[in-house]
Structure 1
Amino acid sequence: MPPRNPIGHQSRLHRLAAAAATAAIVAAAPAEARVTRIVIDSVAPLAGQAIPYEQIRGRAFGELDPNDPHNSIVTDIKLGADADGKVRYETSFNLVKPVEMNRASGFLWHDVPNRGGAGTLVVEERELGDVGLRSGWQADNAGNTGIPANRAAGTNHWVAAPIAKVDGLAVTGKVFARIVNQGGAASQPLMVQANPVPYLPATLDTAKATLKTHTRETVDGVVTEGPGIAPGDWAFAKCDAGNPFPGTPIDNNPANAPGNLPVHICLRNGFDPKLLYQVVYPAHNAYILGVGMAAFRDVGAFFRHEAADDFGTRNPVAGVIKGTAVRGVSQSGNMVRQFIFMGLNQDERNRKVYDGAWPIIAGRRVAANSRWAQPDGVLELYQQGSEGPQWWVDWPDPVRKQPTGSIFSRCNTNDTCPKVIEHFGSAEVYALKLPPEWIGTAGDADIPLPRNVRRYYVPSSHHGGGAGGFTHMPAASAGPSCPGNNFGRGTLAANPVPHTEITNVLRLAMRDWVLNGTPPPPSRWPTLAAKTLVDANRKAMGFPSGVPGIPDSIFLPENFAFPVFDYDWGPQFNHAEASGVPTNVPPSIKKVIPMKVPKVDADGNEIGGVPTVLVMAPLGTYLGFNVTAEGFHRGQVCNYVGGYVPFARTRAERTASGDPRLSLEERYGSHEGYVAAARAAAEKAFAEGFLLPADRDRLIRQASESAVLR
């Protein structure tokens, strides 16, 4: 039987947090676990701003003591120890700073890479003299997070972490993967989002695995199974017309990863695009993913606090940093929430690592601390990420019968909780299961925010925001691609409502809050108390019937608003912590927890949240959802992409199409009338603190220069 997670079976989060805090006080002497060495691989100038900047790429080497209470939260950490009892890692980093550090502001942003992606500090922050740090955390060694052959080269971010072993042998366990909307080709790769499933089969014997098909899956978790596929009719292999079944067997030796990924499945009769294929197989390269989370903590602590490493290599920003914030977007924003939940904002010497945290368009915790977790997952069926508390204050979870707790349960015990700013769009509500963060799993009360958290909701916007501008009729296209594992395309045009302006406001707000103690604007989001958060159906929402392109069927439970599933991952998995070892693969669904969604006005645009110019002076209906055009998910919400349905230009056009919404001419009269509405909206958003002066002026100018009603 696989070893139990070190804290996997405690009964209450408060008890865990108190025990960790007590142990941290007892262990007052500096622990040995830390970044022990940094290597600078390259230094290059960075252009684009007035202050001369340079970009330093390198690697950090560190060690963790599995017995240190700061690290024992990590699932399987003792199974990755070297002979001396320490767990070691290597991780990439990228540091951006002014060449002359006397021109630095003293503020450091530690950005969390999204699926290993490269990036740097934006020009606006470099103009302020800020320091930018980006380092690896995702230790699954696959696709964009794969460890390069030349570790001193490349731009993506990775962590070299050990795999779990018992008596020198790699542990084994069940892993699942799904292939959808694929046909024709004889073999297909096993992917999760855009990266390979990171785990290799322990054996190529398909009799030890299962391959099933589904003919249908509803949004609320009802699965219709199709025919199973006999072990002799498929193989872990690559094949094509020139190399037919059984094809060329894959290399499943962990020593050759990531070069042997993705794993491929070859079918004797090829893939049917009308079916979803689900494979469950024994794997044997269980990366200790939480080591990557701890490595990220240690890199942040090193550049904030240390003068030099153990070998005398100087910290390039030593003595300059006055305030810090960790920041992530989408998947990497979910990592920020998981990082805080695990208590990792306190380093091994009991110091706070980050003063601020900014999880952007991220309403859950990433799956990165259980064995066989898939951090690239986006909450499609049977993917982890909604387990345990997603809220910031202690709150009960009676529906799942989990202990009272919060993301802050651990850091509250030792005063290391950061100041948090979070902002979302409506796509997170409809497809990324955000509402429990606001109302819990019972969904019957608004969860209050603590004083150190601000929340901002951008109504009627899709994941990350749209391109902006004041274009009434979008160019003809096939519809936006729906994110996820080959999910499909939307029937509606892309939603243009941007997040650019709120991001510009919150960037400065975070700096001022951390450096000067200036509080950000008051939080804005839909609530039960204000009756702006309602049941997820057309009637409760007040959504108008007959809007072109939006069938009433989209609002049915089987098609709309992805719910949270209370999965049973088995007795060795801690469902409150989202840690330990899942043994029920795929899991059964114990409960379906329905979502609430924002109420809308007569046009179908959402009520509540921060003021935005396009929603206050609309050119159409802006949606946090879209409708899947074709394929396995046809007619369902098209994962987390938004949509847009323009208003008719004239009353005659509206009447001819049966559109219930007023036309542009009926609303604004003329181009000048529309510009006046956009100006009033911009002035309102500026007066309420949600628009910078430069952005206000730019939006008014763009509206004036637009072709609306010309």
Structure 2
Amino acid sequence: MVRSRTVALALIALVTRAVPAQAHVVRFETLSRAAVGDGYEKIVGRLWFADRPGSAANRRIVDLERAARNVDGEVSSSDDVVILAPRDRTRANGAAVIDIPNRGGATALILDGGRFSHEPDVPDDLGDGFLMRHGFITISLGWQFDVPRAPGLLGLRAPVASDDRHPITGLVRSDFHVDAPQAEHEIGDRGHVAYRVNDNADLDNVLTERDEVLAPRRVIPRARWRFTRAGAAIALDGDFTPGRIYELVYRAKDPVVVGLGLAAVRDAVSYFKHDPSAPVHVLRAYGFGISQSGRFLRTLVVRGFDTDEQGRPVFEGIMPIVAGPSLGSFDHRFAQPSRDAAAFSSFFYPTDMPPFHEREWPLPPDLKVIDIVTSHEYWGRAASLMTTSDDGTRDVALPANVRFYAVAGGMHITGVSPTKLAGARERSDPLDYHWLERSTLVRLDDWARSGTAPPPSRYPTIADATLVAPERWTFPRTIPGLAVPDPAIALHRTWRYDFGPRWDAGIVDREPPLLGAPYPSLIPKVDGDGIDLGGLRLPEVAAPLGTYTGWNLREPATGFGDHLVDFYGSFVPFALTNGTQMAAHDPRRSIAERYGDRSGYLRAYQAATATLVRQRYVLAEDAPALRARAEWLWRIVHETARR
């Protein structure tokens, strides 16, 4: 009797272990399989999910109970998946980088220093093979329902919610400004699929214009504008013109169950960790997201999707890159996931909303978080809210399982050429910080696997006076040719929003929202060269050839010349010699005075690299590549000066 009871319990245990793995990933469909890189393969596939409304793990998903169900009473969805894994699985180190695509585009291969590609197939896409060399599996998971219909973009197919098969309607807002006159503008953000217009003649459809972010709105007569392209765009008689912010509010229908994207990532990672039928198996999973997808990871943790339906951890660690303090439109009715809160676009969406820092999150004690921001996020994303109190008067200590690295002198996009961007006043900031991201991934894996903590956080603080109020910020304004922003105008601020009485249930009743008091935005103090203090200085900023800033003002001809270009910073090279410095009345020391010659510069750069390697912010294996970058920077700056 005892033996039969033991056998029965063992069988129950086996069933209990087997069933949950398949409970919400119905199947994985392989679409293609091909060899890539050094002994790796690329698997392109699709995951099919079935989520049960009302379950403890799913009841927080807005409108899930209003979606159509299959015969088992579950809601079906599917997402796109791309896997890069060793063909010989014994080469894998047990860890997977879970790549959260940005607007459908996979991003993790930036860690390889390769060419950005939606469909990595050739050596240039794979860079130096860093991830492969270290044995990481990369799994890119589509999660966003409205990505543009373009080859290689990864998305989610999710159902529409209805009210007992009757269409649900609600308010949707779309704002934009133009750099040159144009007759028509899309409604969706950056080419994304817009929600359908319920009725072209609805009185809720209103187009306004205004002259500044907080200026009064002027209603444009309905006879002057119309929906075009089957409701995907609007056209205006007399054209949309620079210097105005246009805002369309319209009544839409058929909201998608957007929050299934959060559930899809949760269930997919759990599947790859626990289901023996999965095409790859991982022991440790690290969420990697840049900007929008970093905000997605933050939202996933804040909303409790880091635990699967069996109560198991989903991620061992996450790396939100340049996400700032923000969350996003990832789980509410008529959510537009692409909308953000950039330096000068996408105003007043539910993005910059508390909780801003991890101490206020429901943060699992074993989940490791490493945030990376740059100087741009302080100016364009209110990053100070990640480490300060909501009133901006004091620093807030980070939890023990969180690290925070602020890249001094960096911009939102890493490693571009220092050329002038169309619509910007200055050359773009070339600072490449993917070296820090590579090291951070290795340190994160060490932390989760063996308990070896990563190096300390590095960021400006109120306590050491490197993080200051906008009115106390000063800059060496005599740097020749550099247009310096006025923080009172250009600095991004976030507000307390009121989206209506049902916002806590994920339903927007008020568009645009009412604005309450703004949260304080603090910014890093700068040194005599105009470079931020208090953060982590990578070699090209520790041994600089010019001023690196996280901001870049817009060209006046594009309208709003006192505001910042989204995402970009500035680079202003130092004078080559003392003579050219004096002739230009440049207060910054010349390159010749700082380093003497090329050899002196390379010595200073390599010394800075060696220090960062010793401190574990940079990997020793990257020192030769950093030396090559120093030589490239020297050549570029000298070639630019001679033009």
Over aligned residues, Cα RMSD in angstroms? 2.3
Aligned residue in 2 for 1:89: 77
Note the C-alpha offset of 1:143.
Answer: 1.3
Write the letter of the residue equivalent to 1:547.
I
**Relative contact order, higher structure (CA 8 A, sep 6+):** 1
> CA shift at 1:106, angstroms?
1.3
Of 187, 194, 202, the match for 1:190? 187
Give the whole-Å Cα distance in 1 for the aligned partners of 2:608 and 2:21: 55
Q: Does 1:317 align with 2:280?
A: yes
Match of 2:481 among 520, 526, 549: 549
Report the Cα offset of residue 508 of structure 1. 1.3
CA–CA distance in structure 1, aligned partners of residues 173 and 201 of structure 2: 16
CA shift, 1:206, in A, is 5.7
Instruction: Please say if 1:501 is aligned against 2:435.
Output: yes
Tell me the CA shift for residue 38 of structure 1.
1.6
1:99 aligned partner: 87
1:246 corresponding residue in structure 2: none
The secondary structure found in structure 2 opposite 1:236 is strand
Aligned equivalent of 2:35:
45
AA of the residue aligned to 1:99 = R
Aligned with residue 520 of structure 2, among 587, 594, 617: 594
Aligned to 1:480: 421
Q: Partner letter of residue 177 of structure 2? A: V
After TM superposition, give the deviation of residue 110 of structure 1 in Å.
1.1
Q: Give the residue type in structure 2 aligned to 1:63.
A: A
How many residues are matched? 594
Question: CA separation of 1:658/1:277 partners in 2, compared to 1, >3 Å: closer, same or farther?
Answer: same
1:245-644 matches, cutoff 5 A:
250=230, 263-308=232-277, 315-318=278-281, 321-363=282-324, 364-379=326-341, 380-393=346-359, 406-407=360-361, 409=362, 411-412=363-364, 417-467=366-416, 479-481=420-422, 489-537=423-471, 540-551=472-483, 554-558=485-489, 560-574=490-504, 580-630=506-556, 631-644=558-571
Corresponding residue SS for 1:567: strand
C-alpha contact 1:179 1:278 (8 A) present in aligned 2: yes
Displacement of 1:56: 1.3
TM score, norm. by length of structure 1: 0.79
Contact 2:174 2:248 in 1 (8 A): yes
> Could you say if the C-alpha distance between residues 492 and 369 of structure 1 is closer, same or farther in structure 2, counting changes exceeding 3 Å?
same
SS in 1 for 2:350: coil
Q: Distance in 1 between matches of 2:147 and 2:95?
A: 33
1:668-696, Cα deviation, whole Å (9 max, x unpaired): 33333323322322222222222222333
Equivalent residues in 2 for 1:195-210 (5 A)?
195-196=191-192, 198-205=194-201, 207-210=203-206
The match for 2:148 among 125, 131, 143 is 143
* 1:225 Cα deviation after fit: 3.5
Q: 1:133 aligns with which of 139, 142, 146?
A: 139
CA positional deviation for 1:30: 5.1
Question: Deviation digits for residues 433-453 of structure 1, max 9, x if unmatched?
Answer: 221111132111211111111
Q: Distance in 1 between matches of 2:396 and 2:53?
A: 35
Distance 1:158 1:673 in 2: 50
| Deviation, structure 1 residue 32 | 8.0
2:124 maps to: none
Query: 1:602 deviation in Å?
Result: 0.8
CA distance in 2, matches of 1:302, 1:709: 53
- After TM superposition, the structure 1 stretch with the greater mean CA deviation from structure 2, 496-505 or 599-608, is 496-505
* Cα distance in structure 1, aligned partners of 2:306 and 2:73: 24
- The residue matched to 2:387 in structure 1 has which SS? helix
- Three-state SS of the structure 1 residue aligned to 2:240 is coil
Q: Give the CA deviation at 1:169.
A: 1.3
Q: Verify the 8 A CA contact 2:474 2:526 in the aligned structure 1.
A: yes
Gaps of 5+ in 1: 1-28, 147-153, 239-249, 253-262, 309-314, 394-405, 469-473, 482-488
Give the drift of 1:641. Answer: 0.8
Q: Counterparts of 2:31 and 2:236 in 1: how far apart (Å)?
A: 45
Q: Is the 2:175–2:347 contact (alpha carbons within 8 Å) kept by the matching residues of 1?
A: no
SS of residue paired to 1:686 = helix
Identity percentage of aligned residues: 30
CA deviation digits over 1:408-444, x for unaligned, max 9?
A: x1x54xx6x5211121111111112221111132111
- Identify if the C-alpha distance between structure 1 residues 301 and 30 changes in structure 2 by more than 3 Å, giving closer, same or farther: closer
Structure 2 Cα separation of the partners of residues 166 and 191 of structure 1: 24
Instruction: Give the Å deviation of 1:182.
Output: 5.7
Q: After superposition, what is the alpha-carbon deviation per residue over 1:306-337, rounded to whole angstroms, capped at 9, x for unaligned?
A: 113xxxxxx2224xx22221111111111111
Q: Supply the AA of the counterpart residue of 2:263.
A: A
Structure 1, residues 478-532: CA drift from partner, whole Å, max 9, x if none? x225xxxxxxx21010111110221221121122222222211111111111211
Structure 2 portions without partners, runs of 5+: 1-18, 113-128
One-letter identity of the residue aligned with 2:476: P
Task: Name the one with the larger helix percent.
Answer: 2
